[in-house]
Amino acid sequence: MFLKATADTREHTDSYYAASANWQTNYPELEGDIEVDVVIVGGGFSGVATAVELGERGYKVALLEANRIGWGASGRNGGQIIGGYGQNPSAFKANIGTEGVEVVENMGVECVEIIKQRIEKYNIDCGLKWGYCEVGLKRRHLKDYRKWAEEEPQIKLLDRDELKHYVNSEIYLGGYYREDWGHIQPLNLCIGEAKVAESMGAVIFEQTRVTGVTYGKNPAVQTEKGSVRANHVILCGNAYMGNLVPYLDARVLPATSCVIGTEPLTEEQQRQTMVRDVAVCDSRTALDYYRLSADKRLLFGGLSNYSGLDPTNATEIMRAKMLRVFPSLKEVKIDFSWSGRMGISVRRMPQIGRIKDSNVLYISGYSGHGVAPTHMTGRILAEAVDGDTHRFDIMNKMFHLPWPGGKLLRRPAMAIGMMYYKTLDRF
């Protein structure tokens, strides 16, 4: 696999999502100085969800995006709506206590409900479909599923033959189905939520890169052509923050994942592959994830890469991965191929906190599991701004380590660690 530097442009990447967006956002660039109650940096899910939550509470909000709304991971991901809030919260019991574990577990349910309710309330057209399958390649995966099913009644266990009524592939030993998780066109959800926030009075600026942050009780952000002063600054840039805030940069490792999109499948091809219109993930650390689009293309993702570079032959690699699962698609054309960055935290739990005892709050490190949790985060941050810091404080108590090795060695160290887990995936 040959690698190349990521080609970042200020417009959307050539993804299926950009090609099927409901509209092209065209918000102005910030020029001059303004004052608001809250300024949000980053126009992905975390940013727009927080803007909606604050708008519903009556706050005057400015949202600044360096490129386009949903330009980063929020507009490039697999589109799966999966519950849970990152890593098992019991791993943080020493920091947050039994009550904190319960709160985070409940947040993992609430995050899905937020998306469901918001789409219904504001009539957001984003192709919402319910239904999710996790599929196992090893017997230990099936053992895990049986254990989880004892704790969660929503899980319907599927043996090898039963699974083929959902996902028609010979490589899986079994899996489970949940009707309360599903999938969406993520870019359409993101730009739809931005429009909702705008309707509540939020001012949105695109092509507006933040170049500096002033901390304190009355913080501010500086941009290339202006500034915003506010009572609160909320940083939602995740893997795309760069060196803006060194504290966050040390705790988030950008990693790349790739997705291909086929031409629309015929009804026969759908019967041979995706019998049910569900979102699918397998149970490996370096997993495959896939689903059908609204126009019945297979969107197939995976190929996590921690080098900071993009594969030059990503389309060919992803096509080979797809054919391992669905060999009947060997004659199907690939119409789209793209990649995006995930923000990986050491402990795989989203990081929520406050910088320098100031009114600068942040969220980062969703670790590839951000579609639903971002919406919960938006609510937590809005609650904190509004004076209710209960859930914010619980998340803030989770101690998050910086990546070992610093700028020079953290990527090689992570790559070596992933080689270990990829080896385990084989057994």
The tens digit of pLDDT for each residue in 190-214 reads: 999 999 999 999 999 999 999 999 9
Q: pLDDT tens across 100-156, in order?
A: 999 999 999 999 999 999 999 999 999 999 999 999 999 999 999 999 999 999 999
Residue 416 in any domain: the answer is: no
Let me know: does 228 contact 203? Beta carbons within 8 Å.
no
pLDDT of residue 8: 67
**pLDDT value of residue 295:** 98
Instruction: Give the integer Cα–Cα distance in Å for 80 and 131.
Output: 10
Percent of the residues in the chain that have a pLDDT greater than 70, as a whole number: 92
Residues 230-249, mean pLDDT to the nearest whole number: 91
Residue 270, domain member (yes or no): no
Residue 210 structural domain:
10-79+187-253+346-405
Convert the pLDDT of each residue in 334-353 to its tens digit: 999 999 988 888 888 999 99
Q: Is residue 267 classed as helix, strand or coil in its secondary structure?
A: helix
Q: H-type helices in 326-425, by residue range? A: 373-385, 390-396, 406-424
Average pLDDT over the chain reads: 92
pLDDT band at 400 (very low <50, low <70, confident <90, very high): confident
Judge whether residue 20 has pLDDT over 80: yes
Q: Is residue 22 in some structural domain? A: yes
Task: Collect all residues with Cβ–Cβ distance below 8 Å to 245 and sequence separation of at least 6.
Answer: 213, 235, 355, 362
**Calculated CA dihedral for residues 185, 59, 361, 385, nearest 10 degrees:** -120
In a domain, 374, yes or no: yes
Q: What is the pLDDT of residues 155-167, one digit of tens each?
A: 999 999 999 999 9
pLDDT tier, 1 (very low <50, low <70, confident <90, very high otherwise): low
Distance CA 130, CA 252 (A): 31
Strand partners, 274: 167
**Residues 6 or more apart in contact with residue 396 via CB below 8 angstroms:** 352, 353, 354
Q: Is residue 59 part of a domain?
A: yes
Total domains in the fold of the chain:
1
Task: Report yes or no on 96 lying in a domain.
Answer: no
193 located within any domain: yes
In a domain, 89, yes or no: no
Q: Which pTM was predicted?
A: 0.94
Confidence of residue 407 (pLDDT cuts 50, 70, 90): low
User: Is the pLDDT at 355 greater than 80, yes or no?
Assistant: yes
CA dihedral 345, 188, 108, 116 (to 10 degrees): 180
CATH code, 42: 3.50.50.60
